[in-house]
A and B are shown apart, each in its own frame.
Chain A
Amino acid sequence: MTAPVLRPALLCATALAAALLALPLIGSAPLDLAKALAGDPVHSTILHLRLSRVLLAALSGGALAVAGLLFQALVRDSLADPYTLGVSSGSSLGAVISIFFRLEAYRGVAALAGAVAVLSLNLALASRGRRLSSLTLLLAGVTVNSVAIAVVLLFHSLADYGQSFQMMRWLMGGIESPDYATLALLAAVLLPVVGFVYARSRDWNLLAVGDTWAESHGVASTPALRNGFLAGSVLTAAVTCLTGPIGFLGWMVPHALRLWLGADLRTLIPSAFLAGACFLAVCDTVARTALAPTEIPIGAITAILAGPFFLWLLGKRSRGLWL
């Protein structure tokens, strides 16, 4: 399985490298790269702002694509995404509550707390004694997700105009230029988890066939499901705290790659991380430049791309196969 992993991963890595080099140069404000590299304060600041934003988009896109791939395998549903199991809604609930009570300074912490609360609730609901099953995990996740969204709507309806606007901006998702310390912290959380998910890709392959199949091939399904759910949730929560929910990427990238590379997660995971990173970095550049100086919410860009893709997938399903 050496060549099938390397070739697509190399292609995706090349595309990502090109994106990371080119995208910081694109924007409404003029940027002279030579001046920026020579230390000109204006051009250097523009370059750093854009570069940190592109890096945040890349890290976030990679993490969401891997989380989507993982959740689809765990619940054996190709429509699952990082948000199906409610982690992002929990995060949104935390953020919305912090905005409602005028605690914006703690929005990131509140979003993280919301994600952890939902994560714990899901695991408690999905565990029957010492066993955890994919189906109960999915049902618990969907239910908690719906309840969290309902409470978000409740707070939104009680909020004043300014708070309402802030809440809407959060819920639409958006990428801003973070400082490099935040980026380093995010990378320190995300990259080991992505490494763990890749190292266990044989286990997820077996769980994608079935819990009994995994057990009969030597993988204890309950701890594997719990670890997978925790890993995917950490990826989703860490990104969502900084960017708000960014829809569609988490199922669209896995779908597109599965069409190209098949279902083996040993091949898909590295490519999903790199392709997701490249995709979101490009989407964010479109979001900040297409109608500059107005910024389009990045969630709108991913959704606009996802709609036609979903319709095309429906066409494929009607021909008998659902990827």
Chain B
Amino acid sequence: MTPVYECEGLSVRYATTIALEVPRIEFEPGQLVAVVGPNGAGKSTLLNLLAGLQIPSTGRCLFRGEPLASVGRRRLAAEISFVPQQVELAFPFTAGQVVMMGRTPHSSGLLDTDEDRASAESAMRRTGSAAFRDRDIRTLSGGERQRVILASALAQSSKVLLLDEPTAHLDLKHQHATFRLLRQLADEGSLVITATHDLHLASLFAHRVVVLHRGRLAADGLPEVVLTPDIFVSVFEIDVASATRYLPRA
């Protein structure tokens, strides 16, 4: 299968600090990939690079065989949806308007088309955010807002979804619903890469887990292969007894 991303020699440095250093990594379609690691491990940096929002200090990524840096902003947005860690709005946009913004890469005029409306409606239904359609997004709870942002990404109708901690503000029910949805999207053929601190959800739903530690690739593979006591101790710095509750069960 042709990879969606092929990256080589990637590094991001801030002065003397190495934020990310990954010699080689590939991502294929039809996979839910969980990127895990402690705070500051380089998860968000990796997502930003893959979204084309940040330029690496060294190395490059090919996106569907083309250098990522040479793909135009609008085409990238039509092919890649990006869900940031947090979105703070200064103005009273309704949830429906925020979801509709996801249609921008597909719009040529100022008015919403029937296709735009259908796509936004379907995205809101899938994320359970249709009930908030007419509410000022700033009046929603963190979890509700997160679902609206996810709906906006789905409305973008792209085959690559990059998410930075999408379950950060969600309750247990919606955490599971979100990961179930991400898995479903991957099973339908999309590439979904999500940064997460929830190793339990990663082990339950992800096809593949990428572990980053201090900007470097510590492990990469199937959840049951990657999430071992050794990784919990060496990367997450917790004792073996605590680690066992996160270990994937066969």
Residues of A participating in the B interface, judged by any CB pair closer than 8 Å: 1-2, 5, 72-73, 76-78, 198-199, 201-202, 205-206, 208-210, 212-213, 215-220, 258, 262-264, 266, 321-323
Give the residue name and chain of the B residue nearest to A265 (CB): B91
- B residues 202-223 near A (Cβ < 8 Å) are none
Q: How far is the CA of A321 from the CA of B89 in the complex (A)?
A: 11
- Which are the 6 A-B pairs with shortest beta-carbon distances? A218-B77, A263-B91, A216-B82, A218-B74, A218-B105, A76-B90
Would you call A2 and B92 a contact (CB within 8 A)? Answer: no
Would you call A209 and B105 a contact (CB within 8 A)? Answer: no
Does chain A have a CB within 8 A of B110?
Answer: yes
> Taking each of B89, B98, B104, B138, which has the highest tally of chain A beta carbons within 10 Å of its own beta carbon?
B104
Q: Closest CB of chain A to B66's CB: distance in Å?
A: 17
Given known A216-B51, A266-B110, contact A258–B92 (CB-CB < 8 A): yes
| Number of interchain pairs (Cβ within 8 Å) | 90
What 0/1 pattern do residues 67 to 98 of B give for CB contact below 8 A with A?
00000011111101110100111111110011
Given known A1-B111, A202-B110, A209-B101, contact A263–B93 (CB-CB < 8 A): yes
Would you call B92 and A206 a contact (CB within 8 A)? Answer: no
> Count of chain B residues with Cβ under 8 Å from any Cβ of A?
34
- B residues 144-160 near A (Cβ < 8 Å) are 156
> Taking each of B74, B82, B90, which has the highest tally of chain A beta carbons within 10 Å of its own beta carbon?
B90
Give the residue name and chain of the A residue nearest to B74 (CB): A218
Q: How far is the CA of A316 from the CA of B107 in the complex (A)?
A: 35
- B residues 184-243 near A (Cβ < 8 Å) are none
Other-chain residue from B51, B78, B92, B104 in contact with A202 (beta carbon distance below 8 A): B104
Does chain A have a CB within 8 A of B139?
Answer: yes
Q: Closest CB of chain B to A245's CB: distance in Å?
A: 25
Other-chain residue from B73, B84, B89, B93 in contact with A218 (beta carbon distance below 8 A): B73
Does chain A have a CB within 8 A of B121?
Answer: no
Q: How far is the CA of A67 from the CA of B57 in the complex (A)?
A: 38
Q: How far is the CA of A228 from the CA of B51 in the complex (A)?
A: 24
Chain A positions within 8 Å of B92 at CB level:
258, 262-263, 321, 323
Chain A positions within 8 Å of B88 at CB level:
210
A-B contact pairs, 12 of them (CB 8 A): A1-B112, A76-B90, A76-B91, A199-B110, A206-B101, A209-B89, A213-B101, A216-B77, A218-B78, A218-B105, A264-B93, A323-B91
